[in-house]
Chain A
Amino acid sequence: MIDRKIAMSVHKLQPNTWVDAYADYLFNYAVVRVSDEEIAKDLIQETFIAGLNSAKNFKGQATERTWLIAILKRKIIDHYRKINSKKGKAEVRLEYNASSDSDGDRLEEQVADPVSIAENDALENQELGLAIQSCMDQLPQNQRQVFTMKTVRGLSTEDICKELDINPSNLWVIIHRARKTLMGCLNQNWFTI
């Protein structure tokens, strides 16, 4: 009976916690894919609204976050469809590129090199970003807040202390706990020791 209660509470949607719990994760996910913060913001808002409207379809099989990401993916696809139809239909043509002086001047031969280091790095950094973000989401609220202000937004110790009304040694204790937890949470394969 108790078990069932716990299971139910795990899989129930709690829209009033969405922003605090998932907004940053979804935002990073979207920014990487649309490369524009304003568009990403709009997409997150659309995602939350769509989530509310289709809350009855949430069967509780996935976690809230997975479910929201699934909606966001659709929104991102829709976004690209929209800008594509504005520009006119996307065209794929076989064409020789006259301006190129390389050996392979067909368009297909100019696609990105699958083993290129630059692209693999970019992909790895995306993955890393999401891994860090989901670890940060597990931090207690005050640790997450202070750590984000300090590390992601790069605010000074003084400003943070003023804004949150804490003293510097407090701040360093919080930062220490947060960093310690993140080191433990980030999968071992991100570290070389």
Chain B
Amino acid sequence: MISCDEAAVISNKSQYKEASLSEKFKLKLHILFCGTCAVFSKKNKQLTSLMAKAKLCVMSDLDKKVLKQTIEEQL
């Protein structure tokens, strides 16, 4: 049986499709017996779908650097 910490790591990894099959199996098994991790895992999945729905965009680091320089010049 894996610990809750391990279960959390697997849950996080599977949000980015980086958990192996055996890991996913261990997580499923753990969740059967652990309510806390079951809630965490469910919420974690929802957070992923919310992030996907929001379609956030970020400025690239380069753009930010340029922006910072512009501000500094004006100061």
Q: CA A190 – CA B55 in complex, angstroms?
A: 15
B44 touches A179 (CB 8 A): yes
Q: Which residues of B contact A175 (CB under 8 A)?
A: 12
B1 in the interface (beta carbon within 8 A):
no
A110 in the interface (beta carbon within 8 A):
no
Number of CB contacts from chain A to chain B under 8 A: 92
A193 touches B42 (CB 8 A): yes
A179 touches B67 (CB 8 A): no
Q: Which of A20, A37, A179, A183 contacts B57 (CB 8 A)?
A: A37
- B residues 11-53 near A (Cβ < 8 Å) are 12-13, 15-16, 18, 39, 42-44, 46-47, 50-51, 53
Q: Which residues of A contact B58 (CB under 8 A)?
A: 24, 27, 148, 152-153
Q: CA A93 – CA B12 in complex, angstroms?
A: 55
Q: From B60, which residue of chain A is reached at the shortest CB distance? A: A153
Task: Given A172-B12, A172-B13, A179-B12, check contact A15 B75 (CB 8 Å).
Answer: yes
Q: CA A192 – CA B70 in complex, angstroms?
A: 44
B57 touches A31 (CB 8 A): yes
The binding surface of chain B is classed by DSSP as helix
Q: CA A172 – CA B18 in complex, angstroms?
A: 11
Q: CA A128 – CA B72 in complex, angstroms?
A: 32
Q: Which residues of B contact A125 (CB under 8 A)?
A: 53-55
A41 touches B59 (CB 8 A): yes
Query: How many chain B residues touch A (Cβ–Cβ < 8 Å)?
Result: 31
Q: CA A129 – CA B46 in complex, angstroms?
A: 14
Q: Which residues of B contact A128 (CB under 8 A)?
A: 50, 53-54
B67 touches A48 (CB 8 A): yes
A132 touches B51 (CB 8 A): yes
Q: List 27 A-B contacts (CB under 8 A).
A: A16-B75, A19-B68, A19-B71, A20-B64, A24-B56, A24-B59, A27-B57, A28-B57, A37-B57, A41-B59, A45-B70, A49-B70, A125-B55, A129-B55, A132-B50, A132-B51, A133-B56, A151-B51, A152-B57, A172-B9, A175-B12, A176-B12, A179-B15, A179-B47, A182-B47, A190-B50, A193-B46
Can you list the 5 inter-chain pairs with the closest CB atoms, starting with the nearest?
A129-B54, A128-B54, A19-B68, A52-B74, A152-B56
